[in-house]
């Protein structure tokens, strides 16, 4: 009689938390850089922030909050052995990720169309603080957008594992870790949104 291989769930969770900590260090460095330049160019940062679309930023915030709720509910659903509901909730999270990226594409396209992008003539000829603001904006939202794409791909893979029965009510640590990663993506945006879109 063969026994199922032992799975180190505690180790898997610890590994995920350590990975999330490194991600926080990455974005924390960007936020520190932001704070340093904000203190140096407060007026230019305010001017740059006023050129961003607050409505689209708010919509994207609501989308990510909804997606985090879906991810958390997916974990609860699998614990209740409701595989179909788990799949629907993961699908909802992935759809939210797609919606977020579409809106971000619209935002970036509009800014680039108006000549607002790192190295553009408009920013080079303008005050240096404004150029720094938009460089940090593109860097922060770009890296965050990459994390959204990675998270959506991860959740799609997890959904496939739920569908084929690899993830069950007694073996769902992969889903739990995927949801944790997605919550981090949401948390980072909660910091990005006010820093760039709600400048006074």
Backbone angles phi, psi at 171, to 5 degrees: -145, 80
- 167-170: long-range contacts at Cβ-Cβ below 8 A with a sequence spacing of 24 or more? 167/78, 168/78, 168/81, 169/78, 169/79, 169/80, 169/81
Asked whether residue 10 carries a pLDDT value surpassing 80, the answer given is: no
In a domain, 6, yes or no: no
Residues 116-133 pLDDT 10s: 998 899 988 988 999 999
In a domain, 2, yes or no: no
In a domain, 3, yes or no: no
* Confidence label for 19 from pLDDT (cuts 50, 70 and 90): confident
Residues of the domain holding 78: 16-197
In a domain, 183, yes or no: yes
In a domain, 29, yes or no: yes
Can you tell me the distance from the alpha carbon of 190 to that of 196, in angstroms, rounded to the nearest whole number?
11
Can you tell me the distance from the alpha carbon of 11 to that of 9, in angstroms, rounded to the nearest whole number?
5
**Which residue, 131, 105, 109, is CA-closest to 118?**
131
Model pLDDT, residue 199: 79
Say how many domains are in the chain.
Answer: 1
In a domain, 10, yes or no: no
Asked whether residue 26 carries a pLDDT value surpassing 60, the answer given is: yes
In a domain, 193, yes or no: yes
Judge if pTM exceeds 0.85. Answer: yes
In a domain, 7, yes or no: no
Residues 37-75 pLDDT 10s: 999 999 999 999 999 999 999 999 999 999 999 999 999
Instruction: Give the mean pLDDT of 91-115.
Output: 96
Q: Domain holding 161: CATH number?
A: 1.20.120.80
């Amino acid at each position: 009689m063969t026994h199922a291989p032992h799975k180190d769930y505690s180790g898997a969770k610890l590994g995920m938390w350590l990975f999330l900590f490194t991600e926080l260090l990455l974005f924390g460095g960007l936020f520190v850089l932001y704070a340093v330049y904000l203190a140096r160019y407060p007026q230019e940062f305010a001017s740059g922030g006023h050129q961003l679309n607050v409505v689209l930023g708010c919509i994207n915030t609501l989308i990510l909050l909804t997606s985090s709720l879906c991810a958390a509910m997916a974990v609860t659903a699998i614990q209740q052995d409701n595989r179909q509901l788990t799949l629907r909730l993961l699908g909802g999270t992935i759809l939210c990720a797609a919606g977020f990226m579409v809106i971000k594409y619209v935002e970036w396209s509009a800014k680039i169309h108006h000549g607002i992008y790192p190295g553009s003539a408009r920013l080079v000829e303008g005050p240096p603080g404004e150029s720094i603001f938009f460089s940090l904006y593109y860097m922060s939202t770009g890296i965050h957008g990459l994390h959204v794409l990675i998270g959506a791909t991860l959740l799609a893979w997890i959904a496939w594992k739920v569908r084929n029965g690899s993830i069950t009510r007694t073996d769902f640590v992969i889903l739990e870790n995927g949801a944790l990663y997605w919550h981090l993506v949401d948390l980072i945006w909660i910091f990005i949104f006010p820093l760039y879109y709600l400048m006074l």
